[in-house]
Structure 1
Amino acid sequence: MEVTTRLTWNDEKRLQKQLGNVSLSLLYKSSVHGFGLRDMVQRCSHQGSTVTMIYLKTNIIGVFMLGNYPTLSKYFEEPHYSFCFLFRSKDNITGTDTFLLNMAPEIADNQLMYRLSDETFFSLCPNNKTLYLLRSVKKKLGLFEGRTMDPFIYGECEVFRVEGVKDGLSHIKRIMNVTQHRDRLLEELRAYKPYEDLVSKVHILLLGPVGSGKSSFFNSVKSVFHGRVTRQAIVGSDITSITEQYRTYSVKDGIGGKSLPFMLCDSMGLDETERIGLCMDDIPHILKGCMPDRYQFNPHKPITPQHSAFITSPSLKDRIHCVAYVLDINSINSLSSKMVAKFKQVHKEVLNCGIAHVALLTKVKNYNEVLQDNFLNMNRSMTSQSQVMQISKMLDIPIRNILMVENYASEFELDPVKDVLILSALKQMLRAADDILEDLPLAETGKLVPFCPS
């Protein structure tokens, strides 16, 4: 009889992604092979790196071991590193919290344990289906099942052989650090509030050529907050703009969650040819908050105050607070003089309106090289340095305001490294908007800003 895992197909794919695109082979399932420690160890010893999944009532605890399982005969003396993580299959999120167990596992008293001096951090006792975690480990993983000092009673335990782990410990530490940093960014953005609550939502306008990744960036942001890849905004690779309406997209914190305090405003693509793509005369109306959601763009004619949905007296909350110039990093060196001239024209209008601005470079294939190990700064790899300098010079934008992402396009699963870049870019946009809100004259922070034709 074939033994199958309790993990769903999606859960298993997420687990593989969590461990770095590895392959998994089920070695042991307690309900099939026996709940005894000997049953487990005999099937899992000398199998190389493994991940042990312990199914609690509402959570799954995972422990990755780099190297072989300890044996029943002796203490496991070779260098060994593990990390413990919380696998939230219910919320479609994995690795929301991790805890490095930089110590050797041992088997004693019918338990698989991690101990430092006299303190036991982790103890699994298959014979009575209990899991003990030190209080600090419980807190780190965000576990609140049962009383603080009580062991957990689990219903199932599975052990998988993990194949394809790259670069040993350094790779595992990097995965863990990326995941932790992504989760910190998520919490920070969930707690974000616009400066002095001057507006309820910051409006970020995405402007760029056809196919640069504007709609894909919104989809990517939404995907990270939903914990799965989503594709609400229509994207494509046509030579003409797929986006034909002005859209103001809100982002919810998970499916059915609360709306987050920012909106991403998607526009028609810029085109170097006149009367194709976004009409340049529409841009001031968008920036000043006169453009209604779902307005159908007309490349030949801009919106006018006579339009039935035209916002004639936009307030501060209606205006654009940050503009992101979205550019495919691979096409920067081939931008035509006409397209560069259009960007400069747009940038002049943005500066005249006193609006924050950043450049967002998309389709960064070497995105794994972009992040520094400490994640405090973005590292400009040699392959992207010339493009960054070119955009900085072209639009007179400080290098610190030039951001890099790799959007979700054809993928089906999230990548924590991509998530970090996407969330970091969003964070910088909100910071830029806050700087502008802080610098507004008092007269503009509480009064209506009447429409003024350019």
Structure 2
Amino acid sequence: MEREDMTFVSKLNLEMERQLLQLFPKPVKLHLLYQASMHDFSLSTNSFDKGGQFVIIVYLGRGEEARGAYLGRDRLNKYQSFFLFDLTSKQVTSIANNSEVETDEAPWTYGNAFKLRECYSHAKRLWVDFASDEAYNTGWAKESLTNRDGSLKDVEIFRVDDVGDVLLYPWREIVWNESTREELRENFVSHKVMSESLNSARVLLLGPAGAGKSSFLNSIRSVMLKRITHKSVSGAGAPDHLKKLKSSSIRAERGGHVTSLTLCEVIPLGEEEATGLSIPDARAVIKGHVPEGYRFQQGTPFSSQTIGYRAEPGIKDKIHCVLFFLDARKVTTYSDYLQKKIRILQAELHDLDVPQIVLLTHVDQVCHAVQEDVKYVYSSRTVKDKVQKAAEFVGIPVSFVLPVKNYASELSTNCNSDILLLSAVHIILQAVDDTLDDQCV
């Protein structure tokens, strides 16, 4: 919520606001324009354009109860759309909806169901009237409340603005509900790799520093444990274990069985020459020559002379899929050297018949709608453009680029973020199975 006057402190808490915004068919944001208690309960419409979208919330004098209305009207003050709602700290319910009402009455009048008015014969007094109007079927008991007797605690008026950047139709389809999350999680837990000699697919995480590789690993663990995990992640001065080849199994739950996915971390790809993971080292990891825990040495490529070198790696030692991580905020500013290195690796992966997928991270930081709710990721014009740019940067089809949002500042998991992450896992495992199936033919 944004406030045009920073002295205003809205009584609308974050949970109430979140649920209220869900009543709108597309992403919107609220700007607090007016608060009665800050204006001596004097209602003036001069501060509000006659045209536009507004939400008015009336806070009642009994506990946390509140009621309100949404109004969209044109410049002639004619109603174009509106709905009434009942608001509490626990739930928000749309209880009336009418999109064909026109009126020349006071701007905060909704038939007999809801009226807000200023009593001119009594200074600094607001009245609000409720009734069970048949046209709106509110079910509200008939009553008249005022700030003078304390039954009307406060009134707030918000301007409603479209978040923007949301396409009418999504460019990829996902059903965003709890059933989808549980189905994806169950499919992941029960998945078996398409190879009798392989229990788990080894997936290598590659990308520049800060692109979200370690955060992705932690996020997948969080999804499965149904709570945020707190493992160390890379950044300035990477932790010691991220300078090594480290393989991490994903368990179905704490103490549960190991799933068919193993995520392998190495040092980041450098954006400048002679920095980060070298192409020979990456090649050796992918082919399975590098042992677990090997510490990468800058300027000293891994070779057949290195202690621990596997001369004849088995299928369990090799990499079965590579994930290239790119930051959506930086995808158009990455260095030419990084692009060259990724494209060399991309060509070698193609020759080795190893599937590759790009995970585009931080998509919530490039689109306000996605920041408000991840479910808009495939309706976002900006994210779609970033996905296209990522595909061009790496040199692969757009269908191989998956936007994801890692858990970063959250203290708990949420359904839609879980769905996006689990969808990526599902596609990764499918790519591994398709490749292994072809190799068995």
Residues 355 and 16 of structure 1, relative CA distance in 2, 3 Å threshold: farther
What does residue 93 of structure 2 align with?
66
- Report the Cα offset of residue 348 of structure 1: 1.4
Flag the structure with higher helix content. 1
Residues 379 and 276 of structure 1, relative CA distance in 2, 3 Å threshold: same
What does residue 247 of structure 2 align with?
248
Query: 2:211 is aligned with what amino acid?
Result: S
What does residue 342 of structure 2 align with?
343
Q: Could you tell me how far apart the structure 2 residues matched to 1:359 and 1:193 are?
A: 23
CA contact (8 A) 1:234 1:242 kept: no
User: Following superposition of structure 1 onto structure 2, how do residues 386-425 of structure 1 map, counting pairs within 5 Å?
Assistant: 386-425=385-424
- Report the Cα offset of residue 231 of structure 1: 2.7
Deviations 1:105-124 (A, max 9, x none): xxxxxxxxxxxxxxxxxxxx
CA contact (8 A) 2:19 2:92 kept: no
Residues 235 and 241 of structure 1, relative CA distance in 2, 3 Å threshold: same
Q: TM-score, length-normalised on structure 1?
A: 0.58
Q: TM-score, length-normalised on structure 2?
A: 0.59
- Report the Cα offset of residue 395 of structure 1: 2.8
SS for the counterpart of 1:331 is: coil
What does residue 184 of structure 1 align with?
183
Residues 330 and 348 of structure 1, relative CA distance in 2, 3 Å threshold: same
User: Following superposition of structure 1 onto structure 2, how do residues 210-249 of structure 1 map, counting pairs within 5 Å?
Assistant: 210-237=209-236, 243-249=242-248
Residues 308 and 419 of structure 1, relative CA distance in 2, 3 Å threshold: same
CA contact (8 A) 1:210 1:241 kept: no
**Structural RMSD (CA):** 4.1
What does residue 321 of structure 2 align with?
322
Q: Could you tell me how far apart the structure 1 residues matched to 2:314 and 2:196 are?
A: 14
Q: Could you tell me how far apart the structure 2 residues matched to 1:361 and 1:44 are?
A: 42
CA contact (8 A) 2:205 2:325 kept: yes
Residues 243 and 20 of structure 1, relative CA distance in 2, 3 Å threshold: farther
Of residues 393-402 and 339-348 in structure 1, the stretch that sits farther from structure 2 once superposed is 393-402
What does residue 29 of structure 2 align with?
none
Of residues 350-359 and 393-402 in structure 1, the stretch that sits farther from structure 2 once superposed is 393-402
What does residue 362 of structure 1 align with?
361
User: Following superposition of structure 1 onto structure 2, how do residues 59-208 of structure 1 map, counting pairs within 5 Å?
Assistant: 66=93, 177-208=176-207
Q: Could you tell me how far apart the structure 1 residues matched to 2:424 and 2:199 are?
A: 20
Deviations 1:390-416 (A, max 9, x none): 222233312111000111123222122
What does residue 439 of structure 1 align with?
438
Query: 2:312 is aligned with what amino acid?
Result: S
- Report the Cα offset of residue 437 of structure 1: 0.5
Q: Could you tell me how far apart the structure 1 residues matched to 2:412 and 2:92 are?
A: 24
Deviations 1:4-31 (A, max 9, x none): xxxxxxxxxxx99996999xxxxxxxxx
Q: Could you tell me how far apart the structure 2 residues matched to 1:404 and 1:199 are?
A: 28
Query: 1:293 is aligned with what amino acid?
Result: E
Residues 51 and 370 of structure 1, relative CA distance in 2, 3 Å threshold: closer
SS for the counterpart of 1:411 is: coil
Query: 1:232 is aligned with what amino acid?
Result: K
Unmatched 5+ stretches in structure 1: 1-14, 23-41, 53-63, 69-74, 81-103, 105-166, 168-175, 443-454
Residues 308 and 217 of structure 1, relative CA distance in 2, 3 Å threshold: same
Q: Could you tell me how far apart the structure 2 residues matched to 1:20 and 1:179 are?
A: 20
Residues 433 and 345 of structure 1, relative CA distance in 2, 3 Å threshold: same
Q: Could you tell me how far apart the structure 2 residues matched to 1:403 and 1:209 are?
A: 17
CA contact (8 A) 1:235 1:242 kept: no
CA contact (8 A) 1:358 1:429 kept: yes
Name the larger-Rg structure: 2
Q: Could you tell me how far apart the structure 2 residues matched to 1:237 and 1:245 are?
A: 16
Residues 317 and 385 of structure 1, relative CA distance in 2, 3 Å threshold: same
CA contact (8 A) 1:50 1:67 kept: no
